[in-house]
């Protein structure tokens, strides 16, 4: 996005009077006042492409719908739709300077696009020698209110980012782990519970848990998407549909479904659609679940890769970059660490969304922009982190077979297989002796005389222990 504007200005006016606006920008008086009064961390919190695109989608289908209802002329509709298409395509992003911290209804951003479309459309019409003028409120915002436009934008933007960014990234990591699950199905290793040695399993079985976790996350998102398809459009100011045609919302939904290929519907209760944002609070919770899943997975990986000589060391990480400025040869689990920080940020974003979602008063929640920002930020962070983690960590993970075998051979919990043959107490005695003398379970069992070598091999069948014969 271009941040520099021309030093030349033009005069625009609204109900408060005249104001100077950069001559090379299409926004008008209300956008300029917002820009002046809310210059809050715009470098970080300026609206990005998903929100601008969603605004363009709403304005395009709204103009088409009003035209179909006989409320907007063909020439005006053509001009508005033309500009909206440019906005959707990302050709006019520099004309959207506003950020998150503005009026809580998103009115400033709604007026921003109304003004951009009107000014650009009027320029196009003048080029065609048409003397009619398009008004940002009377024409571009016809049948709409910021109170129903912005909630609709919130749902559209989140759904598109979810569908286009996050879900593909999750599926890619799942595919990577699914392959490794199959590749390492026969690699028997030590299990761990309470951070202590436990009964054995295969590395493929261990990885299968990660695959199942990601499958659950995908199901959670698919379940939660349905709550975002109902849109507030048509509710106007307080949910009653004041100043909008009774068929407007239905036509908008039909046009939007065709444009986005998403099954949008009208909100069953438009009062709720303005006053609450429970569907987005719910989606934020799904993002938190995703973060919790990923944090568990990356923590498993960095524990299993710890060492390489003084830790567990059963997995080997790709060597992407030097790990220390002072300790030569060190390789750190950097992708795991980056992912874990992303997950922590998502937890924080979810807390913000939960509080903001609780703050609807009477007919309007006025925390809309911060809810949208945090949900979108979580989607973006998780999407980018997933792609990075998959490319630079997951795909390159390999087992350290010698360490795995060594740990398995020393695993005291192999004594668990003896319980059905010699009883729990004697099996405990075997385990404790093995630990005390730093010998294997087999050596301890034979020393105590609870089994001979053939019996031990028959009873402590590793394949049976990991469920291969069950």
- Active-site annotation, residues: 194, 324
* C-alpha 151: how far from chain center: 19
CA distance 47 to 100: 7
Among 368, 222, 369, 345, residue whose Cα is nearest residue 294: 345
Contact between residue 397 and residue 176 where contact means Cβ atoms under 8 Å apart: no
CA distance 50 to 332: 35
Is cis: bond before 308, omega within 30 of 0?
A: yes
Contact between residue 453 and residue 446 where contact means Cβ atoms under 8 Å apart: yes
Pull the structure tokens for residue 226.
């349905």
Contact between residue 386 and residue 162 where contact means Cβ atoms under 8 Å apart: no
Dihedral in degrees, nearest 10, Cα atoms 119, 124, 128, 130: -20
Strand 265-266 versus strand 364-365 pairing type: unpaired
Specify the 3-state DSSP secondary structure of 194: coil
Dihedral in degrees, nearest 10, Cα atoms 207, 210, 211, 213: 160
Alpha helices in 164-277 (DSSP H): 167-183, 203-225, 248-260, 270-275
- Strand partners for 22: 9
Specify the 3-state DSSP secondary structure of 454: helix
CA distance 170 to 468: 29
Pull the structure tokens for residue 108.
């400033």
Eight-class DSSP state of 184: T
Q: How many CB atoms lie within 10 A of CB 142?
A: 23
Q: How many CB atoms lie within 10 A of CB 20?
A: 12
């Amino acid at each position: 996005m271009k941040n520099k504007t021309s030093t030349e200005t033009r005069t625009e006016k609204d109900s408060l009077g005249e104001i100077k606006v950069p001559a090379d920008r299409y926004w008008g008086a209300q956008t300029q006042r917002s820009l002046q009064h809310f210059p809050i961390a715009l470098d970080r919190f300026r609206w990005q492409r998903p929100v601008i695109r969603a605004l363009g989608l709403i304005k395009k289908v709204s103009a088409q719908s009003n035209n179909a209802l006989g409320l907007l002329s063909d020439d005006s509709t053509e001009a508005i739709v033309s500009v909206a298409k440019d906005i959707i395509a990302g050709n006019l992003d520099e004309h959207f300077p506003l950020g998150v911290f503005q009026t809580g209804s998103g009115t400033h951003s709604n007026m921003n696009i109304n003004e951009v479309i009107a000014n650009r459309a009027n320029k196009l019409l003048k080029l065609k020698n048409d003397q009619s003028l398009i008004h940002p409120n009377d024409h571009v915002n016809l049948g709409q209110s910021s109170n129903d436009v912005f909630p609709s934008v919130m749902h559209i933007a989140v759904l598109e980012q979810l569908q286009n960014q996050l879900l593909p990234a999750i599926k890619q990591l799942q595919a990577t782990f699914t392959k490794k699950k199959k590749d390492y199905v026969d690699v028997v290793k030590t299990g761990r519970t309470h951070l202590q040695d436990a009964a054995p399993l295969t590395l493929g079985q261990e990885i299968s848990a990660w695959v199942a976790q990601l499958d659950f996350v995908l199901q959670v998102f698919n379940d939660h998407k349905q709550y975002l398809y109902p849109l507030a459009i048509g509710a106007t100011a307080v949910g009653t549909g004041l100043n909008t045609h009774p068929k407007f919302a239905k036509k908008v939904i039909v046009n939007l479904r065709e444009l986005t290929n998403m099954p949008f519907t009208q909100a069953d209760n438009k009062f709720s659609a303005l006053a609450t944002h429970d569907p987005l609070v719910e989606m934020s919770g799904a993002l938190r679940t995703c973060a919790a899943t990923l944090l568990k997975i990356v923590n498993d990986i960095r524990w299993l890769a710890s060492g390489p000589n003084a830790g567990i060391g059963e997995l080997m990480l790709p060597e992407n970059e030097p790990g220390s400025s002072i300790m030569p040869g060190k390789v750190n689990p950097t992708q795991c660490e980056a992912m874990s920080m992303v997950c922590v940020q998502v937890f924080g974003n979810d807390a913000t969304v939960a509080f903001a979602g609780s703050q609807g008063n009477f007919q309007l929640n006025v925390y809309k922009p911060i809810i949208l920002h945090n949900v979108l930020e979580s989607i973006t962070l998780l999407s980018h982190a997933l792609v990075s983690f998959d490319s630079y960590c997951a795909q390159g993970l390999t087992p350290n077979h010698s360490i795995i075998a060594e740990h398995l051979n020393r695993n005291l919990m192999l004594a668990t297989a003896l319980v059905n043959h010699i009883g729990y107490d004697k099996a405990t005695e075997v385990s404790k002796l093995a630990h005390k003398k730093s010998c294997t379970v087999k050596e301890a069992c034979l020393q105590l005389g609870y089994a001979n070598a053939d019996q031990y091999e028959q009873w402590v069948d590793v394949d049976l222990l990991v469920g291969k014969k069950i």
